[in-house]
């Protein structure tokens, strides 16, 4: 099997884990309460990453990252974003709003494009602008008909898209970045854990050993699919990973609708159709960039070395029209 195909399998495995296994796991233990569950996720994710980093002897790299003030500033900000994302997503899973959470992950890549333009002046083309407009229309459409802002989907989508945009701007390995973020969150999670214990509402402990072991799995449930996805991106590239990411919200949507029987009427269907059209436009654009842009760049290079100004202008114009 080629490296590319192995990468595709890793990406599919990671996306499937996030979209199916993770949903079923967190839903099955949601009776412990949203607050305790998100605290378990934060604590055991940090512990697992500490063990992995120690095993791989990467602490010197961690030290170098922390010495860079820019990296540290961004990682403090992204740690807040990822904790918000974890908290709202677990709340959605626990309260029969998985479909709403899937909405957030459908719009996430499109919001990432928008924030990339707003914060870092990344280029937009006509297709991406149209996808962004459809996303905004969908949000206001759902708000108009339900008189209730789709805050779960928006919070999940906004937090995760901002997280990805800012993480792309620092040269930090994904696993080490998540480790540092988890270590930033850890003291607050432990403090929260102590307060829950003080209230007498903690389900974790010696007296509930079986349940406690199951709750510890919240760490691997977070870390394992991440490592699958990282491995897949390294082998197959960013383009395929961006396309296959949509496996996650698709399965979340299917589980919420058919396994957990969440309400879904015609008005909400129209809102989702707008988003799905935006996603198709985004995927088409991503496919184009992945498969054809290298050829455009090659032709442009040839043109720039050509002695004929006329050929330069014609070829560059044709490829410009094709791209935009």
Using CA atoms, how far apart are residues 112 and 164, in angstroms rounded to an integer? 7
The mean pLDDT of 56-74, rounded to a whole number, is 93
Using CA atoms, how far apart are residues 127 and 117, in angstroms rounded to an integer? 14
pLDDT at res. 103: 94
Identify the domain containing residue 318 by its residue range: 292-324
User: Helices 209-216 & 218-236, crossing angle to 10 degrees?
Assistant: 20
On the question of pLDDT at 77 being above 80, the answer is yes
218 and 319 fall within a common domain: no
| Predicted confidence band of residue 116 (pLDDT cuts 50, 70, 90) | confident
Using CA atoms, how far apart are residues 91 and 101, in angstroms rounded to an integer? 9
286 and 302 fall within a common domain: no
On the question of pLDDT at 323 being above 60, the answer is no
pLDDT at res. 233: 81
Phi, psi (5° rounding) for residue 175? -70, -40
170 and 276 fall within a common domain: yes
146 and 229 fall within a common domain: yes
192 and 319 fall within a common domain: no
Using CA atoms, how far apart are residues 88 and 105, in angstroms rounded to an integer? 12
In angstroms, the first-to-last Cα distance of the chain is: 36
Beta-carbon contacts of residue 77 (< 8 Å; ≥ 6 apart): 166
218 and 301 fall within a common domain: no
pLDDT at res. 95: 94
Mean pLDDT of the chain: 86
| Predicted confidence band of residue 40 (pLDDT cuts 50, 70, 90) | very high
On the question of pLDDT at 198 being above 70, the answer is yes
Is the Cβ–Cβ distance between 218 and 41 less than 8 Å? Answer: yes
Using CA of residue 38, residue 42, residue 47, residue 51, what is the dihedral sign? positive
255 and 304 fall within a common domain: no
On the question of pLDDT at 297 being above 90, the answer is no
Higher pLDDT, 270 or 321: 270
165 and 136 fall within a common domain: yes
Q: What's the number of domains the chain is made of? A: 2
pLDDT at res. 64: 94
217 and 299 fall within a common domain: no
| Among 30, 29, 94, 18, CA closest to 251 | 18
Is the Cβ–Cβ distance between 306 and 312 less than 8 Å? Answer: yes
Using CA atoms, how far apart are residues 179 and 48, in angstroms rounded to an integer? 9
pLDDT at res. 283: 86
Is the Cβ–Cβ distance between 74 and 169 less than 8 Å? Answer: yes
309 and 278 fall within a common domain: no
Higher pLDDT, 207 or 96: 96
111 and 260 fall within a common domain: yes
| Predicted confidence band of residue 298 (pLDDT cuts 50, 70, 90) | low
243 and 313 fall within a common domain: no
| Predicted confidence band of residue 300 (pLDDT cuts 50, 70, 90) | low
């Amino acid at each position: 099997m080629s490296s590319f195909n192995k990468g595709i399998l890793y990406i599919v495995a990671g996306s499937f884990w996030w979209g199916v296994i993770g949903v079923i796991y967190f839903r099955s233990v949601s009776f412990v309460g949203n607050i305790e569950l998100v605290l378990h996720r934060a604590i055991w994710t940090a512990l697992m990453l500490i063990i992995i980093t120690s095993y791989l002897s990467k602490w010197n790299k961690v030290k170098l990252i922390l010495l860079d003030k820019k990296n540290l500033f961004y990682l403090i900000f992204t740690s807040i974003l990822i904790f918000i994302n974890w908290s709202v997503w677990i709340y959605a899973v626990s309260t029969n709003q998985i479909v709403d959470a899937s909405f957030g992950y459908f719009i996430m890549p499109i919001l990432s494009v928008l924030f990339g333009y707003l914060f870092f002046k990344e280029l937009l083309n006509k297709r991406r602008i149209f996808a962004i407009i459809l996303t905004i229309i969908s949000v206001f459409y759902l708000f108009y008909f339900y008189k209730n802002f789709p805050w779960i989907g928006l919070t999940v989508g906004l937090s995760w898209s901002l997280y990805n945009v800012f993480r792309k701007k620092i040269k930090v390995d994904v696993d080490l970045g998540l480790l540092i973020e988890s270590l930033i969150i850890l003291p607050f999670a432990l403090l929260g854990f102590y307060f829950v214990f003080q209230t007498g509402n903690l389900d974790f402990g010696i007296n509930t050993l079986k349940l406690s072991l199951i709750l510890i799995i919240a760490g691997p449930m977070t870390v394992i699919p991440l490592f699958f996805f990282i491995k897949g991106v390294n082998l197959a590239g960013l383009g395929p990973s961006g396309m296959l990411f949509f496996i996650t919200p698709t399965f979340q949507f299917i589980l919420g609708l058919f396994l957990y029987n969440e309400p879904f009427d015609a008005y909400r269907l129209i809102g989702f159709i707008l988003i799905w059209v935006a996603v198709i436009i985004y995927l088409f654009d991503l496919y184009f960039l992945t498969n054809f842009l290298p050829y455009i760049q090659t032709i442009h290079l040839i043109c720039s070395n050509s002695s004929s100004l006329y050929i330069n202008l014609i070829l560059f114009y044709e490829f410009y029209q094709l791209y935009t």
